[in-house]
Amino acid sequence: MTTTHDSGTYRPPAPGRPDIRQRTLRTDRWWLPPLANALGLATFVVYATIRSLWGAAYYVEEYHYLSPFYSPCVTASCVPEASHLGQWFPALPWFLPYALVSLPFLLLFRLTCYYYRKSYYRAFWSSPPACAVAEPHTKYTGETRFPLILQNAHRYFFYVAGLISILNTYDMVLAFQSTDPATGQTSFGIGLGTIILLINVIGLWLYTLSCHSCRHITGGRLKHFSKHPVRYRIWTGVSKLNTRHMLFAWITIATLILTDLYIMLVSSGTISDLRIVN
Ligand code: FES
């Protein structure tokens, strides 16, 4: 049914959706968070896409720094020293990333993340643009139909992301070494790059462990916490982290870019690594 409203043609909302006739009653700058989110997410997507396909300046051989966008480096195009898990594929065309086995899962892990979903539904889809602001869409099916029903696969990407975080941790541990280019001898070393990699890995673990799926895996489907004290303690810890999940989501976007950018600058010879212990 269509009725006429004083501001023009009025279409009733879809069943189950609130009947808000003004666009919003809010008087604050409600559009600021979705705008900031759109800019932040777009920056990350553009940067990560360009760098993943760049195919250069992703590894510092002397200090064993490997960019997280290239881990694991598994194609014949990779620098052999950067291929910690071996080279599983021949040289790939430019439109396929060297970290072919991890990046699609990491992308899907973030894309289906409960927080990012809220963020990009608001920023790019206006569904809704903000709390108490009417959305432009007349139909609403939530995540009950294809393709959005696939968002429910998030829990499976969580397991893969956990494995990749272990891999990133391994890369970070290797960065506590330095190799003398003259003698080829490897010894313990710490540089600014090591610290940056360490901060990035801590951030990645905080983001991964604060995931809503992790919270469910550790404490979900239990009738009596008292009968599962260990799971209860883990669930309590994960729940505390979970309250900061949005913060970790943004921190890791920043640390991923910073880590890759630093390694790119050192690897290309634009700057030298600041060594703390050689
Ligand atoms: Fe964000 Fe799982 S909810 S990573």
Ligand 1 within 6 A of 213 CB? yes
Please name which of 103, 91, 101, 93 lies closest in space to residue 52, comparing C-alpha atoms: 103
Domain residue extents for the chain:
58-136+151-277
Q: Give the Å distance between the CA of 202 and the centre of ligand 1.
A: 16
For residue 15, what pLDDT band results from cuts at 50, 70 and 90? confident
Atom of ligand 1 at shortest distance to CA of 110? 4
> How many residues are listed for the chain in this entry?
278
Q: What is the pTM of this model?
A: 0.90
Q: Give the Å distance between the CA of 208 and the centre of ligand 1.
A: 7
Pairing status of strand 59-60 against strand 3-5 = unpaired
Atom of ligand 1 at shortest distance to CA of 213? 2
Q: Side-chain half-sphere of 260: how many Cα atoms within 13 Å?
A: 20
Q: Report the alpha-carbon angle 269-273-276, nearest 5.
A: 165
Pairing status of strand 59-60 against strand 275-277 = unpaired
What are residue 188's DSSP bridge partners? Answer: 177
**pLDDT at 4 exceeding the cut of 70:** no
For residue 7, what pLDDT band results from cuts at 50, 70 and 90? very low
Percent residues over pLDDT 70 in the chain = 95
For residue range 65-110, what is the model confidence (pLDDT) as tens digits?
999 999 999 999 999 999 999 999 999 899 999 999 999 999 999 9
Q: Give the Å distance between the CA of 109 and the centre of ligand 1.
A: 7
Average pLDDT over residues 207-231: 95
Q: Give the Å distance between the CA of 242 and the centre of ligand 1.
A: 9
Ligand 1 within 6 A of 137 CB? no
The pLDDT score that the predictor gives to residue 14 is 76
The pLDDT score that the predictor gives to residue 69 is 97
Ligand 1 within 6 A of 154 CB? yes
Q: Give the Å distance between the CA of 49 and the centre of ligand 1.
A: 21
Atom of ligand 1 at shortest distance to CA of 249? 1
Least confident of 177-181, 193-197, 204-208: 177-181
**Cis peptide upstream of residue 147 (ω within 30 degrees of 0):** yes
| Minimal-distance CA residue to ligand 1 atom 1 | 113
For residue range 138-157, what is the model confidence (pLDDT) as tens digits?
888 889 999 999 999 999 99
Give the separation between CA 183 and CA 178, rounded to whole angstroms.
12
Atom of ligand 1 at shortest distance to CA of 115? 1
The pLDDT score that the predictor gives to residue 190 is 97
Atom of ligand 1 at shortest distance to CA of 154? 2
